[in-house]
Every structure is written in C-alpha cells, then in structure tokens.
C-alpha cells in the first residue's frame, strides 16, 4: 500500500509554546526577585527548561512535517521521540538543580521578602501555562503527536508545580515556619524527576520500535480476522509506531487456488479497514499458500513476537 502522508501538527503550536515559555519564565523570575522564595526559584528553573524544550519542539515539528524522500522512505516522524526524550533529560537536569537549591536553603534558611506580589505573578504564570497546555493536548490528540503531548503534559506538570509552590508559601505566611518553603521545593524536584523519567521511557520505546499497545493489537487481530473469514489464517503479526504513523505487517495464509485478483482484493480490504480504524497506517501483508508446510515454518516467529 502506498505510504500516505499523515496529518502534520502546525508549527504555529511551536511558536505558541515558545511565547508562553518566555512569558512565564519572566513572570516567575520577577516573582523570585520580589519574594526570595526558593520554591518560586524551583518553579522558574523548570520554566527555563520549558523555553529550551520549546525550541526543540519547534525544530521537531518542522523536521517531522517533511514528506518521505529517497533517503528517508519511512518519513521523518521518528524525530518526535528524540525530541521528547531530550525534553525529559532536560527536565531531570532541572530537577537536580531544584533539589540542590532546596537542600541548600533548608540548611541555610533566609527570610522571605514580598510574598504577596510573588504569589500573584506565579498564579498568572500558571494560568497561562494551563490554557496553553489545554490547547496543546487537544492538538496532540487530533494529530496523534507525541511531541505535542509531551509538551502539554510538561506544562500541566508545571501548573501543578506552581500550585505546590503557592500552597507552600501560604503555609509559610500562616505558620511563620521558613523551612516549609525549601521542603516544598524539594518535593517539587522529586515530582519533576518522575515526569522526566516517564518522558524518556516513552521516547525510548518509540525509538526502539516498541509494539503498539495491547488493546490496539487486539483490535487489529479482530479486524483482520473479520476480513479473511474461516478459509484463511494469519500469523507473525508485528507492529510499531513512528510519530503518528502505525506500521503493521503480518503473514496471510490462504488457499493456493485463490486467484491473484481475489487475493489482492482481500488484502486491499484489510488495508482499508485498518486505515479506517487507525487513520495513519502502513500495512505490509506477505501472502503464503496455506497448504504448503513451508508457510508454517515461521510459526516460531509468531510465537516469539507474542511472548
């Protein structure tokens, strides 16, 4: 089946992400200068990562939008996994910085300055991130883009981080206990590390051609079986994903007397049914005569894949 170009996320999402990241970075660092809160500093540090990651997102969206060519016959979508993995690495680096600063401030506490103004600024920054994250997540689902999904989840993590900072500062204002601020920053750092690890794990799976989720594979098997009926069988089903595109290949065993025309019609129906249910698919079907014992010699391949 011809390689169909998937829907591409617009690069305007990348520019929107950069604009939001720069705006929230400025707001949070100004808030830190006024308040002296290490919690706000940790939040600002994560926003600094957001700015760098946003430029990588724009690069990934631009590169992934290129059509398949002679040197990249499967397209360029896989760069999305690389981008999200890089973003995860930067998130972890920022988290280590946050934990270091929080530990230092815990051991060497300082009085907070204008907490009220700092709170207003970080709440405004959180509102901006929340709105942008909502639109990014909607776009990620529409385009099935891991790089947009990763950015949206990163922004939501940033919103929760800001929420934790606000709670910590409010507690400091009420209890007059200054070490609550670095303690909250330390916990934020641990949470940010977990977010980074999750991003890297998913990116690793994509780069290593991890199979599609079990529920999708189960649906693929049902769709294939519905089209081939009882006279044919299939095995050695393999799947992977690159960006938004799903790659599916399997061996189709059919009676040897079936004409080439009829076998082509059957495979065409299978391809169309899979594309209708999964939108962006690239299906490869290897046909074999069901009566030939050699057709079953690759049964071990099927068993290894399913183990």
Domain ranges for the chain, please list them.
Answer: 12-207, 214-306
The answer to whether 12-207 and 214-306 have equal CATH topology is: no
- For each of the chain's 307 residues, which pLDDT tens digit applies? 444 544 555 678 888 889 999 999 999 999 999 888 888 887 888 788 888 888 888 888 788 778 878 888 777 878 878 877 887 888 888 788 888 888 888 888 777 778 888 889 999 999 999 999 998 888 888 877 777 887 887 788 788 888 888 888 888 888 888 888 888 888 888 888 888 898 888 888 888 888 899 999 999 999 999 999 888 999 989 999 887 788 999 999 999 888 989 999 999 999 999 999 987 889 999 999 998 888 777 655 554 455 5
Q: How far apart are CA 225 and CA 245, in angstroms?
A: 22
Query: What is the pLDDT at residue 301?
Result: 55
pTM of the model: 0.68
CB-CB neighbours of 182 under 10 Å: 26
**Phi, psi for 236 (deg, rounded to 5):** 55, 45
| 3-state SS assignment for residue 89 | helix
Identify the pLDDT of residue 3.
Answer: 47
Half-sphere exposure for 37 (CA within 13 Å, toward CB): 37
Lateral strand order in the sheet of 281-289: 233-242, 245-254, 281-289
Query: 103-123 as b/e, with b when 16 or more CB fall inside 10 Å?
Result: eebbeeeeebeebeebbebbe
Instruction: Answer yes or no: are the C-beta atoms of 118 and 173 closer than 8 Å.
Output: no
For 69, 231, 253, 255, 256, the CA distances from 291, given in Å and listed in that order, are 39, 11, 9, 7, 7
Residue ranges in 144-213 assigned as alpha helix (H)? 146-175, 180-207
pLDDT score recorded for residue 183: 86
Signed CA dihedral, 155, 157, 158, 160: sign only: positive
Q: Please give the Cα distance from 196 to 190 (Å, whole number).
A: 10
214-306 CATH: 3.30.70.1350
CATH topology of domain 12-207: Alpha-lytic protease prodomain-like (1.20.1510)
């Amino acid at each position: 089946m011809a390689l169909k170009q998937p829907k591409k996320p617009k690069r305007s999402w990348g520019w929107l992400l950069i604009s939001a990241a720069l705006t929230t970075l400025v707001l949070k660092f100004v808030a830190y200068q006024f308040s002296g809160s290490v919690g706000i500093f940790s939040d600002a540090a994560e926003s600094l990562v957001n700015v760098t990651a946003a430029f990588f997102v724009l690069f990934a969206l631009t590169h992934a939008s290129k059509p398949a060519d002679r040197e990249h016959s499967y397209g360029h979508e896989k760069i999305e996994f690389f981008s999200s993995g890089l973003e995860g690495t930067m998130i972890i680096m920022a988290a280590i910085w946050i934990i270091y600063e929080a530990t230092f401030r815990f051991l060497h506490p300082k009085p907070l300055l204008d907490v009220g103004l700092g709170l207003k600024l970080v709440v405004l920054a959180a509102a901006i991130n929340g709105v942008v994250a909502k639109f990014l997540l909607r776009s990620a689902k529409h385009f099935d883009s891991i790089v947009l999904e990763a950015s949206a989840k990163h922004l939501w993590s940033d919103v929760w981080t800001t929420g934790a900072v606000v709670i910590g500062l409010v507690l400091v204002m009420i209890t007059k206990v200054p070490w609550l601020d670095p303690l909250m920053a330390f916990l934020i750092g641990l949470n940010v590390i977990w977010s980074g690890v999750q991003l890297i794990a998913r990116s690793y799976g994509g780069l290593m051609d991890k199979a599609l989720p079990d529920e999708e594979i189960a649906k693929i098997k049902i769709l294939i079986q519905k089209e081939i009926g009882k006279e044919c069988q299939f095995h050695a089903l393999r799947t992977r994903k690159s960006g938004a595109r799903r790659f599916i290949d399997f061996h189709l065993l059919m009676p040897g007397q079936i004409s080439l025309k009829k076998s082509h019609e059957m495979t065409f129906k299978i391809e169309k049914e899979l594309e209708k249910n999964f939108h962006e698919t690239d299906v490869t079907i290897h046909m074999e005569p069901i009566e030939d014992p050699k057709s079953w010699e690759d049964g071990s391949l099927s068993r290894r894949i399913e183990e």
